[in-house]
Amino acid sequence: MNVLVTGANGFVGAALCRTLMASGATVFGAVRSKSNASGLPGVHPIVMNLEDLSSLDVVANRLDGVVHLAARVHQMHETVADPLDAYRAVNTRATENLARWAAANGVGRFVFLSSIKVNGEGQDFAEAPHVYTEEDVPAPQDPYGISKWEAEQSLQQIGNDTGLETVILRPTLIYGPEVKANFRQLLRLVKTGLPLPFSRVNNARSLLYLGNLVDAICVCLNHPKANRQTFLVSDGEDLSTPELIRGLGRAMDRSVRLFPVPPRWLNGIGRLTGRSSAIQRLLGTLRVDSRKIRQTLDWQPPYTVWQGLSATAMAHLQRINEDRQLARAA
């Protein structure tokens, strides 16, 4: 099987490429520069910009599948004048162009990594919880989510027009070794052993371990019943913030001390410090029902959430030890 993976050097892409090659697939990795391909042994790199698909001529009519992971993701410090157009340029229009190229060049299946943000942002601590499903009316609330939803609609239309087999995945929060952003910050915080003010947080969040996502993508590349489907994907084991913190603490052999602070106070602190979004993710609920992919494709996550958290925490500790060794050697 010949597969093109865009964003091949990313958090998800690198893990997917390794798994695909281990299964015997020939993997072509779309990257932005040669240096990005240095950590992808065995992958055939294609240096390209999503706005110019001419570099893909070398694999024209040779691909069985495309997994489109590359995207413009959340920007902590947005600098462009029109953020929505910037997201649309990469996440919507470039996805449309790549899908049309795939249809014109005999690709059998196109798997698109969308986002649970198409469904919405979950509920804050004061709202009644809701479990998202594929049947919900999409309600994206930020430019990233809007651009992903528009890309989904375009893919469905392209599939109808051309016969291209499309599969859309909406993952929840993805974690795993080398995770970055807020999850890495939480790992660092738990490792300190400092008391944390979350014992009164009574929420639930669906998470998705990297190994489970990669396995789901591989199944969607091949399963006949995946065609024209949209799936919400998660580990299937929802955790509260206190449960997540305690799980990470156990994995890192760190004692976890939680003390009570009213969620409203924490929310107010978040607004005052400019960390409202990060605090909301710790306080709010975002749950999905991922039964559809399990029942339709007979898929089961190969890893439990506890196995995923343990692997993530151990990789974090290993990275810290390696950094210390490098510092001593310098």
Q: Which residues pair with 174 in a beta bridge?
A: 208
**Helix%, strand%, coil% for the chain, nearest 5:** 50, 15, 35
Question: In terms of DSSP H, where are the helices of the chain?
Answer: 11-22, 83-87, 94-104, 143-162, 181-192, 210-222, 241-251, 263-273, 276-283, 291-297, 305-329
Quickly count: other Cβ atoms within 10 Å of residue 128's Cβ.
6
The tokens for 96 are: 């449309």
Q: Is 101 left (phi over 0), alpha (psi -120 to 50) or beta?
A: alpha
CB 167 within 8 A of CB 111: yes
Q: Where are the domains of the chain?
A: 2-178+207-235+288-304
Phi, psi of 131 (to 5 degrees): -95, 120
What is the 8-class DSSP label of residue 175? E
For residues 192 and 252, the answer to whether their CB atoms sit within 8 Å is no
Note the pLDDT of residue 330. Answer: 67
The Cα-based distances of 188 to 135, 183, 193, 252, 255 in angstroms read: 37, 9, 9, 11, 14
17: number of Cβ within 10 Å: 26
Q: Which residues of the chain have pLDDT under 50?
A: none
The pLDDT value recorded for residue 81 is 78
Is 144 tagged catalytic? yes
CATH of 2-178+207-235+288-304, one of 3.40.50.1000, 3.20.20.70, 3.30.230.70, 3.40.50.720: 3.40.50.720
- Residue-level pLDDT at 112: 98
Q: What is the rounded distance in angstroms from the CA atom of residue 235 to the CA atom of residue 205? A: 10
Summarize pLDDT for 120-176 with one digit per residue, the tens.
999 987 788 899 999 999 999 999 999 999 999 999 999 999 999 999 999 999 999
Residue 254's closest CA among 306, 325, 310?
310
> CA 138 to CA 153: how far, in whole Å?
11
**Which is the catalytic residue, given 144, 175, 209, 303?**
144
**pLDDT the model gives residue 79:** 77
Cα–Cα distance for residue pair 109/41, rounded to 1 Å: 25
Instruction: State the angle between helix axes of 181-192 and 305-329 in degrees (0 to 180), rounded to the nearest 10.
Output: 80
Q: pTM for the whole thing?
A: 0.94
Tell me how far apart the terminal alpha carbons of the chain are, to the nearest angstrom.
45
